[in-house]
């Protein structure tokens, strides 16, 4: 029994190490397009994890992902050639974080659906104001972005994902994690226990925006041309949210699996059957939510339970029945 527990403790990190090592060495033997595709998938993983970092902890549904992602893209366009990429990423991350601080501070009173819709409108507001400013004040639309090779982009994105994972892990383990789970279950109670819930909430929002902004800047280097309409696309608000629900938010792996499967499925359908892509994609979404209410992670849990409760004991019985029929405990 003791041995079994120890094994369980080790198995998780070992799998993680294996996956990460595989991901790090992948560009050296994978085909070129695999890296290009993984770049998009990693982008979605980063966005979804960042979304979960805020919304998963606090229970607030944020649809502001496109604001921060767009800020990242757009900053890359405006400051292209002015700063080297690492500084540019830091810069757009900080701008996104500041934006998040502002949005977070003024929306303190809003809860639930109101918060979601406020953040949704902020995407459109920023898009239209920037667009108007570009056209009427600057007299240009769109900015070129210097291209960075896909391998570099891949590693940067991988690093961002790892960074978000570590951050999430550390927060979960710290006393703030406990305070945050307090916010989620009952905000008022959390306030009474002396936790500065609002400050914590806003800071977390800014932290998640920081990562999203950096991701945006990295992705811009593969897009070459950015303008306000392309940058502030509502899809980037909806998709991470859907991916997180799709994967299941009960575990840290849920969003990763959700984003990966969702993004890969999208690519698969678009390339294999461009005409039926939307139809099948929609059906998959409906079926998943109907039959897997806890997301893909829920499916995993269910399968494991099934195996543990039925299949494995049966196998054990068979084995023990065949070999050690006499020494049955």
Partner 1 sequence: MVLLINIILNGLLLGGIYAVTAVGLSLQYGVARILNIAHGEYIMVGAFLTWLVHTKFGVNPLLCLAVAGPAMFILGYLVQTFLFRKLKEKTPTPAEFEGSSMLMAFGILFVIQSIAIFLWGTNIEGYSYLAYSIYLGDIRLSVNRLVILIAALAICLLFYLLLTRTRTGKAIRAASQDPDAAALMGININRMLALCFALGAMMAGFAGMLISLVYQLQTNMGMQYTIIAIIVVVLGGLGSIPGSLIGGFLLGILGAIVNSIEPGLHMAAYYLLFMILLLVKPSGIFGR
Partner 2 sequence: MRKKSLLLFLIACLALALVFTGCAGNSNNSNNNNNGKALEDKDKLVFGGARSLSGPLAIQDESCFGPVYRMWIDEVNERGGIYVEEYGKKLPIELKLYDDTSDMNTMITLLEKSMVEDKVDFLLAPISTAFLHAAAPICNEHGYLLIGAEGGAKELEPLMAGLPYFFSLLNYATHQVDPFVEMLAEHGIENAAIIFIADQHGIEYSGDLVPRLTMAGIDVVFSRSIPLGTKDMTALLEEAKAKNVQALLCCAYPDENFAVFTQCMEVGYNPDVIIFGPGICLEVFPQIFGVEATHGVMGWGAWNEKSSPAMADLAKRLTEHQGGNRNVDWWGQAIYYAGLEILEQAIEKAGTIDHSVLKDVIATETFDTVIGKVWFENGGVPAECYPGQVGQWQNGIFEVVAPSDKATAAPLIPKPPWPTQ
Binding site for partner 1 (CB under 8 A): 59, 61, 106-107, 109-114, 117-118, 120-122, 124-125, 128-129, 132, 135-136, 234, 238, 241-242, 245-246, 275-279, 281-286, 289-290, 293
Using CB under 8 A as the binding rule, the residues of this chain from 199 to 238 that contact partner 2 are: 219, 222-227, 229-230, 233, 235
Among 6, 147, 192, 316, binds partner 2 (CB under 8 A): 147
Q: What is the 3-state secondary structure (H, E, C) of 28-72?
A: HHCCHHHHHHHHHHHHHHHHHHHHHHHHHHHCCCCCCHHHHHHHH
Q: What is the DSSP letter of 52?
A: I
Taking CB under 8 A as the binding criterion, the range among 17-25, 99-107, 184-192, 193-201 that sits at the site for partner 2 is 17-25
Residue 62 CA to residue 113 CA, distance in Å, equals 9
Phi, psi of 226 (to 5 degrees): -135, 135
CB closer to partner 2, 115 vs 232:
232
Residue 32 as a binder of partner 2 (CB under 8 A): the answer is yes
Place of tokens 């810069």: 91
Q: What is the torsional sign of CA 310, 6, 21, 240?
A: positive
Q: What is the DSSP letter of 162?
A: H
Q: What is the torsional sign of CA 101, 107, 110, 115?
A: negative
Give the pairing of strands 143-144 and 225-226: antiparallel
Cβ 190 to partner 1, closest distance in Å?
Answer: 17
Cβ pair 68, 216 in contact under 8 A: yes
CB closer to partner 1, 87 vs 102:
102
The partner in contact with residue 308, picked from partner 1, partner 2, none with C-beta cut-offs of 5 to 8 angstroms by kind, is none
Residue 102: its H or E element: helix 85-106
Residue 140 as a binder of partner 2 (CB under 8 A): the answer is yes
CB closer to partner 1, 209 vs 214:
209
CB closer to partner 1, 80 vs 251:
251
Q: Rounded to whole angstroms, what are the CA distances from 310 to 4, 253, 307, 319?
A: 19, 25, 5, 14
The partner in contact with residue 15, picked from partner 2, partner 1, none with C-beta cut-offs of 5 to 8 angstroms by kind, is none
The partner in contact with residue 13, picked from partner 1, partner 2, none with C-beta cut-offs of 5 to 8 angstroms by kind, is partner 2
Closest CA to 204 of 174, 244, 227, 245: 174
CB closer to partner 2, 73 vs 183:
73
Q: Rounded to whole angstroms, what are the CA distances from 2 to 5, 208, 246, 307, 315?
A: 5, 39, 35, 21, 22
Q: What is the torsional sign of CA 246, 232, 266, 268?
A: negative
Residue 144 as a binder of partner 2 (CB under 8 A): the answer is yes
CB closer to partner 2, 114 vs 279:
279
The partner in contact with residue 7, picked from partner 2, partner 1, none with C-beta cut-offs of 5 to 8 angstroms by kind, is none
Question: Where do contacts with partner 2 occur on this chain (CB under 8 A)?
Answer: 13, 16-18, 20-22, 24-25, 28-29, 31-33, 36-37, 39-40, 43, 128, 131-132, 134-136, 139-142, 144, 147, 166, 173, 219, 222-227, 229-230, 233, 235, 267, 270-271, 274-275, 277-278
């Amino acid at each position: 029994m003791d041995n079994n527990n120890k094994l369980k403790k080790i198995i998780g990190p070992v799998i993680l190490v294996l996956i990460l090592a595989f991901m790090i060495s992948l560009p050296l033997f994978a085909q070129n397009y695999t890296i290009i595709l993984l770049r998009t998938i990693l982008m979605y993983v980063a966005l979804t994890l960042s979304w979960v970092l805020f919304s998963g902890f606090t229970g607030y549904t944020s649809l502001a992902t496109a604001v921060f992602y767009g800020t990242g893209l757009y900053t890359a366009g405006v400051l292209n050639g002015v700063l080297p990429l690492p500084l540019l990423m830091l810069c757009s991350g900080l701008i996104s974080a500041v934006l998040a601080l502002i949005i977070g501070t003024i929306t303190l009173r809003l809860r639930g659906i109101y918060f979601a819709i406020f953040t949704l409108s902020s995407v459109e507001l920023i898009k239209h104001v920037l667009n108007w400013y570009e056209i009427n004040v600057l007299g240009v639309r769109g900015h070129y972005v210097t291209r960075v090779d896909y391998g570099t982009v891949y590693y940067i994105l991988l690093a961002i994902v790892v960074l978000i994972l570590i951050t999430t892990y550390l927060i979960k383990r710290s006393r703030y994690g406990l305070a945050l789970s307090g916010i989620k279950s009952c905000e008022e109670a959390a306030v009474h226990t002396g936790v500065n819930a609002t400050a914590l909430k806003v800071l977390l929002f800014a932290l998640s925006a920081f990562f999203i902004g950096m991701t945006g800047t990295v992705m811009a280097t593969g897009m070459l041309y950015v303008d306000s309409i392309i940058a502030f696309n509502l899809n980037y608000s909806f998709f991470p949210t859907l991916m997180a629900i799709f994967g299941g938010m009960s575990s840290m792996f849920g969003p990763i699996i959700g984003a990966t499967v969702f993004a890969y499925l999208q690519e698969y359908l678009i390339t294999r059957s461009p005409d039926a892509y939307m139809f099948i994609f929609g059906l998959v979404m409906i079926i998943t939510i109907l039959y897997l209410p806890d997301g893909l992670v829920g499916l995993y849990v269910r399968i494991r339970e099934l195996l543990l409760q039925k299949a494995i004991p049966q196998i054990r019985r068979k084995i023990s029945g065949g070999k050690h029929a006499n020494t049955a405990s």
